[in-house]
Structure 1
């Protein structure tokens, strides 16, 4: 308690930061179990909530295009509110009963690829204006062609139901994998050469989506992108003075790296102001058929009037979800990729928070909660699953605030933001090119994160370069060919044709599968494949010397579970202490656990490797 009280009194002013930096450059001011003062908690929570808005709110903009509801402002506002609502729900669940680290949960871009492939099937083509010949007089008279359009107002709901059903089914698999403790078993076959093409192709395959927004006004899109780069890269180290208060120093001035913390929000605001100036001066055509029309800030103003002040997402509000074999298999592939990504995020969050690496039960529970949250997301019609956000984890290293309480309050803020309907409606007013510029950076960062995984492998190895080359080129080539030849696959079964169409049309699946097969079948040592360094990095010791994992225990019920002996066999129980047959290479017959012995074995091997190098 003395340590906690001492930490709570630490001020976040510049002087205190410098003092703390000299003591421990990698430490955190507020650890996982430490709660900052209430006023600082709200500030830190709001900051984390704002950081995730760019990624979370970009998904509804993408979905409305894919659902043939690009011009349906009500649909976009609804999806925006639902996405924020689910972001809050998932964050609260994850930080309270899941892995219990400071992690923000939000919409996953990994699932956009399968949705794009699913919606590209001929049965989900957007309604188009057609003409029919109506003989109004007699058979010998001239044909009178009358245009008509299919009912678009309900078309997007039918498509959303298909996404809902397949998402719920795939998320159920994720939930069961987490509860069964099989995550560790499957991870033994996954290495950097599987992860790199899988994650990279997520971003690379979605460049067309960003281009669709950018083409509305390339100038504004490039301006937004440029501002994000300037704020985060060039001005990131500049500290802006802000007035603040603490019991120790009363009212004083503290300095914050505002440009580094809020580059996306600042860029959106400045670009939005410019678009508003162009709108009121009529420098942007007020013609809905013009390509630049959605650069105007009043293009969707009517949605503010039509959207209620409060909007409560309810299960199955869009009707009964539907399921297809093709959609389920595509979503399942994205789910597996999400599990891999989230597992890495858990270890990263623990390291950056100066906490002990998460034990087996915390990993299992975290994956199970993500699956459970994604099931709820499918039920309420968000159109996407939830996953952990690496950007918010990285922000901990900047703010040095890893408090669980901060992230719980952030989840509450996001939850309330989703319930207030007018807030979601206001976000639909963001001009399309601003969204496009932001998406360009987001998708680029996703690709870069995948590429960064290659740091663990031997990049001078012909084996590794060949596997990477084949995975990336086929991951881009096959889906592009499928998009141009939608009816090329004819197996004699319509269901099988659709399954193969979705899978081969998903770049992430094609590249990841090829990388997985080649990496596990082509001869190569653990050192060459990067397995040793990658897992040593995952199981690296936390900065603190505590021997317990108290931060991963479920509040209130852990003491009860300790009294029930059979709970030690339940993979999601805090008392779970059984050995997991964890990652090992095909060149080694050793078994590893998720405990201290595992990390020690890897660290010894890594030291031997470094000596050889």
Structure 2
């Protein structure tokens, strides 16, 4: 009796795709194999996805560049603007390469998933950037003040970015080992959805100083109104009007 009601475990991609096509939809509006009704709906959904992806992808280099500019006393506006532009360009280029790798079934899942920036790395990145004395001593200076006085602004940016990118590259090997060894699959059995909430909260707390570093601390009300509108349109009005639920993010941005 218990075996009859136990959900079937999906072990292959083909089984998962068949389940997505024939299984119960519940709250899913569009499944993996579904297509929007018309081209207008497809364009609007694509625009909404682009806005979501654009904001999340641009936010990380904006935050990181703001931290470096404020911590390492980058006062020249041209240097700061050029550094921020380069970092955003590199981020989009890397996101495009990883997205293409994700789309290829031999290297990824084959699903149209945009591989953008991750906010999970901001905590460790900020720790590296804030280690001013360690970086100064590693470069042969006795103090951070001496490091600032002896180097120009672009040199300081280049040095800090070398430490940040080196740490990310070193950590990526550890992530590759975890992924290909299958350890994460075993660990996920003991990670319940309850643990996701505190994890997301901790990631959000690391972004607490980000608005001040970016100089947009006065946009808090706008951000709050956007989130509030998304909740209202998606969870309240969207219960009766499915199109409102689909375009809740796009409508919230337009309204606010």
Compute the displacement of 1:180 (Å).
2.7
Q: How does 1:191-590 map to 2 (within 5 A)?
A: 191=192, 195-213=196-214, 216=215, 218=217, 220-236=218-234, 256=244, 260-262=248-250, 265-266=253-254
Q: Which residue of 2 aligns with 1:115?
A: 125
- 2:85 aligned partner: 77
Partner Cα separation in structure 1 for residue 41 and residue 233 of structure 2: 24
* Higher RCO (CA-CA < 8 Å; seq separation 6+): 1
> How far, CA to CA, are the matches of 1:51 and 1:189 in structure 2?
31
TM-score by length of 2: 0.65
Question: Residues 24-69 of structure 1, C-alpha deviation per residue, up to 9 Å, x if partnerless?
Answer: 663544x323455666544433321211222211111111123235
2:154 match: secondary structure: coil
| Residues 63 and 213, structure 2, Cα contact 8 Å, conserved in 1 | no
The 1:226/1:202 distance shift into structure 2, 3 A limit, reads closer
| Larger strand fraction of residues | 1
- Deviation, 1:209, is 2.3
1:100 aligns with 2:110: yes
Is the contact made by 2:56 and 2:117 (CA closer than 8 Å) also made in structure 1?
yes
Q: In structure 1, list runs of 5 or more residues that go unmatched.
A: 1-22, 132-147, 240-253, 271-613
Match in the other structure for 1:316: none
For residue 107 of structure 1, give the secondary structure of its aligned residue in structure 2: coil
Q: Return closer, same or farther for 1:159/1:197 CA change in 2, 3 Å cut-off.
A: same
CA–CA distance in structure 1, aligned partners of residues 83 and 211 of structure 2: 20
Residue 63 of structure 1 is matched in structure 2 by 64
Say whether the 8 Å CA contact 1:177–1:183 is kept in structure 2: yes
Partner of 1:508: none
1:81 aligned counterpart, secondary structure: helix
CA contact (8 A) 2:48 2:247 kept: no
**1:421-457: CA deviation from partner (whole Å, max 9, x where unpaired):** xxxxxxxxxxxxxxxxxxxxxxxxxxxxxxxxxxxxx
Deviations 1:280-324 (A, max 9, x none): xxxxxxxxxxxxxxxxxxxxxxxxxxxxxxxxxxxxxxxxxxxxx
2: CA distance between counterparts of 1:119 and 1:229?
A: 30
The 3 A distance-change label for structure 1 pair 51 and 222 is: same
Residues 27 and 217 (structure 1 numbering): CA distance in 2 closer, same or farther, change over 3 Å?
Answer: closer
Change (3 A) 1:88 1:42: farther
Aligned length: 212
For residues 226 and 43 of structure 1, do their structure 2 counterparts lie closer, same or farther at Cα, with a shift above 3 Å needed? closer
Does the aligned pair in 2 maintain the 1:228–1:264 contact within 8 Å?
Answer: yes
Q: Which has the larger radius of gyration?
A: 1
Task: State whether residues 61 and 88 of structure 2, in contact with CA within 8 Å, keep that contact through their aligned partners in structure 1.
Answer: yes
User: Could you say what the CA RMSD is over the residues aligned between the two structures, in angstroms?
Assistant: 3.8
Question: Could you give the per-residue CA deviations for residues 151-178 of structure 1, whole angstroms, max 9, x where no partner exists?
Answer: 0112111111111122112112222332
Query: Given the superposition, is the C-alpha separation of residues 184 and 129 from structure 1 closer, same or farther in structure 2, using an over 3 Å criterion?
Result: closer
Could you tell me which residue of structure 2 aligns to residue 601 of structure 1?
none
For 2:144 and 2:127, how far apart are their aligned partners in 1?
Answer: 23
Separation in 2, partners of 1:27, 1:184? 25
1:86 corresponding residue in structure 2: 94
| Higher helix proportion (structure 1 or 2) | 2
Question: Secondary structure, in 3 states, of the residue corresponding to 1:33?
Answer: coil
Do 2:67 and 2:126's aligned partners in 1 also have CA atoms closer than 8 Å?
Answer: yes
Question: In the TM superposition, what is the alpha-carbon distance from 1:99 to its structure 2 partner?
Answer: 2.7
| Separation in 1, partners of 2:88, 2:61 | 6
Q: How far is the alpha carbon of 1:116 from its aligned partner?
A: 1.0
Structure 2: where are the runs of 5+ without partners?
1-23, 137-142
